[in-house]
Amino acid sequence: MSAPTDLSITEARAALDAKKLSAVELAEPHISASEKAQSKLNAYIQITSELARKQAKESDARRAAGKAGDLDGIPMAIKDLFCTKGVRTTAASKILDNFIPTYESTVTKKLFDAGIVMLGKSNLDEFAMGSSNITSAYGPVVSPWSGADPANSNRKLVPGGSSGGSAALVAGRFAMAATGTDTGGSIRQPASLAGIVGLKPTYGRCSRWGIVAFASSLDQAGPMTRTVADAALMLRVTAGFDEKDSTSVDQPVPDYTTAIGASVKGLKIGIPKEYRIDGMPGEIDALWQKGAAMLRDAGAEIIEISLPHTKYSLAVYYIIAPAEASSNLARYDGVRFGLRVPGENLNGMYENTRGKGFGKEVRRRILIGTYALSAGYYDAYYLKAQKVRRRIRDDFTEAFIKCDLILAPTAPSTAFAIGEKQDDPIQMYLNDVFTVPVNLAGLPGISVPAGLGADGLPLGLQLIGRSFDEMTVLKAASALEKAVSFNHKPPFTA
């Protein structure tokens, strides 16, 4: 049997069921590895070692009594955007530095009910705003892939963002899986940069209740794993209607694990011509063509499609998302919870608290959003952006008349160095060029590791499906994963 930290969830479940391994024996190497890796990667905001040990013992007791859940004993990291009852939840912001929720998010409750062992709360961009995990108030996350390029062995690389801590932990074998959230690509882009699987479900498929809000019409929780089968299992556990979430959709939840290994023969895969952007590195275009050929060889039909309003996606996203963030983050004022910085009067306290509590990127987006919503500009910016968003969604609807899935690159490059794009927010925002349209349309998408670039760093391809058709997305992702057979590990692993 492989080392415990090298096992997939599927493999670990089989070993646990066969009594080749106990939950405690599975948890301890992950706890030890996480503690040792923290000083190098800074991938956790908080490590919960004692809680993990307690949960592992309880898992073994349940298994002995024949009451094991679907994910019993599986060590996972929880993105520190999910409220965890009795465990500090910061959203990587100073303003929530000492916030301890009295309630559990629906997604984490489902995971705990299924028996997971929580290793800790993973680092992220502050309030999930970023594509590199450098905006966290607790410092940047370093990718375990740093040092993979012999020509630049001393460069510290970003893991992608905002779910960068989750991506780094899963890629480095410090956690078997992790939760992420995807507002404009924050599951799929770090998955691509870290060489793992990242699944963004349909908007409304997984409950948003108890997740610290960024942009309410875009945010969606999803799994980050090392295999497509593991992502399918996690989605089966976490998906479902939640009456506490007004954006949750009451749709049947199929057994997603049955999609793994299923034939893709007859599926039509669309290649959007608008995604061939100027300046795209040749290796990404070549990988895209190779991925299409692999799916064709597996029995799928490849066709060209058009998504004509794609070019407006980033502009639309960076009006709508900051506008919703401006509204959501208005609650952090020093009155009810979180940081409070006194002032000469009430307005002074508001200003001091928000000025000290929010980082530069969060303040930038609040200002952009407040401007877009202000009198005289609402119609010109926010309302117009919503109209174009509808056109973007209609493009996908038209495309899915001709095809079953869409194949595209996940990110426009491999991982870049920490600080490389820090002073140019526009360049940073361009990292979301392939992922943002999926969020604007509310569709499911998955990033699958598809190869290494010339610099020895991972590149991913994403598959996009119709609303609530994660089954077809997972079916094709499984076929692509099998064809690629990506088995590369980062230089720094457990």
CATH number at 115 reads 3.90.1300.10
Whole-number percent of the chain with pLDDT over 90: 90
Per-residue pLDDT at 149: 79
Residue 359 falls inside a structural domain: no
> Which of the following is catalytic: 162, 192, 447, 467?
162
**pLDDT(468) > 90:** yes
**153 included as an active-site residue:** no
Task: Please report the pLDDT score of residue 19 as a whole number.
Answer: 95
**123 assigned to some structural domain:** yes
Q: Is residue 148 predicted with pLDDT exceeding 90?
A: no
Rounded mean pLDDT, 11-17: 97
CB within 8 Å of 352: residues ≥ 6 apart: 334, 341, 342, 343
Per-residue pLDDT at 475 exceeds 90: yes
d(CA 434, CA 446): 12
Query: For residue 85, is it within any domain?
Result: yes
Write the pLDDT tens digit of every residue in 24-45: 999 999 999 999 999 999 999 9
Would you say residue 213 lies in a domain? yes
Q: How much is the pLDDT for 418? A: 93
Q: Which of 59, 93, 186, 192 is catalytic?
A: 186
Strand order in the sheet with 44-47: 44-47, 117-122, 75-79, 177-181, 221-225, 197-200, 445-452, 458-465, 405-409, 268-272, 301-305
pLDDT at 281 over 90: no
Q: Can you tell me the distance from the alpha carbon of 195 to that of 150, in angstroms, rounded to the nearest whole number?
A: 18
Tell me what the mean pLDDT of segment 332-353 comes to. Answer: 89
The verdict on whether 40 is a catalytic residue reads no
Per-residue model confidence as pLDDT tens digits over 344-391 = 999 999 889 999 999 999 999 999 999 999 988 999 999 999 999 999
Q: Kindly state the percentage of the chain with pLDDT values over 70.
A: 98
Distance CA 196, CA 79 (A): 16
pLDDT digits (tens, 9 = 90+) for 390-444: 999 999 999 999 999 999 999 999 999 998 766 666 666 667 889 999 999 999 9
Looking at every residue in the chain, the average pLDDT score rounds to 95
**pLDDT, tens digit (0-9, with 9 covering 90-100), for 203-245:** 999 999 999 999 999 999 999 999 999 999 999 999 999 999 9
Q: Is 346 exposed, middle or buried (0-12, 13-18, 19+ CB in 10 A)?
A: exposed
The per-residue pLDDT for range 90-130, each reduced to its tens digit, is 999 999 999 999 999 999 999 999 999 999 999 999 999 99
In this predicted structure, the answer to whether residue 460 has a pLDDT above a threshold of 90 is: yes
Residue 82 lies in a domain: yes
- Would you say residue 222 lies in a domain? yes
Is 186 among the residues known to form the active site?
yes
Which of 22, 34, 59, 79 does the annotation list as catalytic? 79
C-alpha span between 488 and 473 (Å, rounded): 23
Rounded CA gap, 162 and 101, in Å? 21
What is the C-alpha end-to-end distance of the chain, expressed in Å? Answer: 16
Tell me: pLDDT of 258 over 80.
Answer: yes
Rounded to an integer, what distance in angstroms lies between the CA atom of residue 315 and that of residue 432?
A: 11
Domain range for 142: 4-262+474-484
Question: What is the band of 145 on the pLDDT scale with cuts at 50, 70, 90?
Answer: very high
Number of domains comprising the chain: 1
